Amino acid sequence: MECNGCEFHPELHYDREFQIWVRREADGTLTVGMTDISQTIAGKILHVRVRRPGTRRPPGKPVATIESGKWAGPVPNFFDCVIEEANAEVLDNPVLLNTDPYQAWIARVRPVDGPEAALSGFVTGEEARAGYCERARREDIHCRRQPG
């Protein structure tokens, strides 16, 4: 399902601004990635850095940073977590975040207070779809994929 050309996945969880997506894993960890909206805004991503596995990151302190066309910034983090793993493929080839944002996850993290609490401020399903489309329309964001 799309909105202004922006791909959406109802089974994922999203922050209120739809900057990141989060997937619940069976082992209690959470997988984090960038939304189609975020990768479009960022433009072609040239660098990704993920904090070392084992690092604890409180809310507001990013798990990862990206850089595109001289802009650098965090992939925002909203919950207290410990980094378990970075996606090595994405570290080697950051443009995967642009070409396939929902396959190209960035990091797998363990939420300190459990996944339930971590995702309490997130939205999912049809409620998320409505908000996601609303942001794309409000800010006139038309998603586009970079050539690999």
Residues contributing to the site for other proteins (CB under 8 A): 17, 19, 41-43, 46-47, 49, 65, 67-74, 76, 92-93, 139-141
Identify which of residues 24 and 51 has a Cβ nearer to other proteins in the complex: 51
Write the DSSP assignment of 59-94 as a string of letters: TTS-SEEEEETTEEEEE---S-EEEEEE-HHHHH-T
Rounded least distance, CB 5 to other proteins, Å: 14
Rounded least distance, CB 20 to other proteins, Å: 11
Residue 97 sits at φ, ψ, to 5 deg, of -65, -30
Residue 147 sits at φ, ψ, to 5 deg, of -65, 135
- Is residue 23 within a helix (H) or strand (E), and if so which, with residue range? strand 20-24
Name the token pair of 10: 């109802």
Rounded least distance, CB 41 to other proteins, Å: 5
Identify which of residues 11 and 89 has a Cβ nearer to other proteins in the complex: 89
Rounded least distance, CB 36 to other proteins, Å: 13
Residues 6+ apart with CB under 8 A from 109: 29, 30, 32, 57, 63, 81, 82, 83, 84
Identify which of residues 10 and 73 has a Cβ nearer to other proteins in the complex: 73
Identify which of residues 10 and 59 has a Cβ nearer to other proteins in the complex: 59
Rounded least distance, CB 21 to other proteins, Å: 16
Identify which of residues 124 and 146 has a Cβ nearer to other proteins in the complex: 146
